[in-house]
Chains A and B, each alone.
Chain A
Amino acid sequence: MSVAQATLTPPVTADDHLLGPDNAAVTLVEYGDYECSHCGRAHAIVHEVLRHREGQVRFGFRHFPLARSHPHAKQAAAAAEAAAAQSQFWAMHERLFTHQDRLDEASLIAHAAAIGLAADQFAQDLGHETTAERVQADFLSGVRSGVNGTPTFFINDRRHDAAWDVASLLAAIDAAS
């Protein structure tokens, strides 16, 4: 048994939140938490990595809220899912990672308004059981996949155990291409 060979379980499906071409040579998946400061740093790094390898990398994001450390993390993840119900997952994702100090419920509603979501629908989806279930399903898939903290990256379904600065991620992506 080798825990180090952790594999993305389940692999990426159409239900994932994905950016970039479906036929990209490399798929980069991040398990992250909107209240985690390391994930905030990783967010800017992922942007840069995707810019450097535009068209070559598909990026997917799954929720891994560490709720006992981060009291707003689950609700923030739910906000991203509620935005996804209005086809605005990535707009909310961007908003949350650039406003990590404003993740209480009133702020989440303000973020929804700022990106143009229908307020009533957002509020309803934010509190809906299926939204929380989706976040929990992501979390459990992360546990199964060997996520060991946030952020954890997978490159073509294999856990990336090395550093996740821009140069290290680019090198790992190029090696997997």
Chain B
Amino acid sequence: MTNANQPASSANGTASTTALAAGTAAPDFTLNSTLDKPLALSEYRGRPVILAFYPADWSPTCGDQLALYNEVLPEFQRHDARLIGISVDGKWCHKAYAEARNFRFPLLADFEPKGEIARTYGVYHAKNGTSERALFVIDGDGVIRWGYVAPAGVNPGADGILTALEALPVAAGARS
């Protein structure tokens, strides 16, 4: 697990120089989503949030990653955690993608200005014009507790997220 105040780790052991570190307050944002209304991160305050930045809808690796998280949702929910997927794709692309894959969690459109939220979190890949594949676990107080930037083309799985959720102190009033 990433220690507080160290940048999010990448798989080769070198710290990403830009990704927001554990211990940092997660910047709030409001984006169009696959829900019927825009979603603000702060709406989930009081619960852990898994923020999963991924490069693009429809690409095979992302599909596997999000399909996996879709299956593991009951495990995330045991920690009362909410999962949010976020990429630079637009709202209608997200809607088609989420419907085709039967996703049970919202996808957010970091579309205009493109990649602004990814930049804020330090995980925008300017050359590719997409975000990195980056995971943040945010606690109920809105503080980043764990971050991970996956190497290109590698699907990070869900074990790191579950380990980070288990390490969170149980919030007062959290549902079991």
Contacts and interface: CB of A to CB of B under 8 A. Distances in A.
A4 B72 CA distance: 19
A29 B9 CA distance: 28
Interface in B35-67: 64-65, 67
Interface in A64-100: 66-69
A66 B67 contact: yes
Nearest to A152: B157
B1 interface: yes
B123 to A, nearest CB: 15
Contact of A148 (B70, B75, B151, B156): B156
Contact of A69 (B12, B65, B102): B102
A3 interface: yes
Interface stretch (B26-34, B87-95, B158-166, B168-176): B158-166
Contacts of B75: 140, 143
B101 interface: yes
Contact of A143 (B101, B104, B154, B158): B158
Nearest to A4: B11
Contacts of A4: 11-12, 151, 154, 156
Question: Chain A: interface secondary structure?
Answer: loop
A1 B148 contact: yes
B155 interface: yes
A140 B155 CA distance: 17
Contact of B71 (A2, A67, A144, A161): A67
B79 to A, nearest CB: 13
B144 to A, nearest CB: 14
Contact of A3 (B68, B70, B160): B160
Contacts of A139: 71
B146 interface: yes
Given A1-B2, A1-B148, A69-B102, A149 B65 contact: yes
Interface string A1-35: 11110100000000000000000000000000000
Interface string A116-151: 000000000000000000000001100111111100
Contact of B68 (A6, A140, A149): A149
Contacts of B156: 3-4, 148
A148 B71 contact: no
A23 to B, nearest CB: 30
Contacts of B146: 1
Given A1-B1, A66-B68, A66-B71, A146 B9 contact: no
Contacts of A145: 159
B159 A2 contact: no
5 contacts: A1-B1, A140-B75, A148-B154, A149-B65, A161-B154
- Which 3 pairs from chain A and chain B are nearest by CB? A149-B64, A4-B11, A148-B155
Interface of B: 1-2, 9, 11-13, 64-65, 67-68, 70-72, 75, 101-102, 104, 146, 148, 150-151, 154-160, 162-163
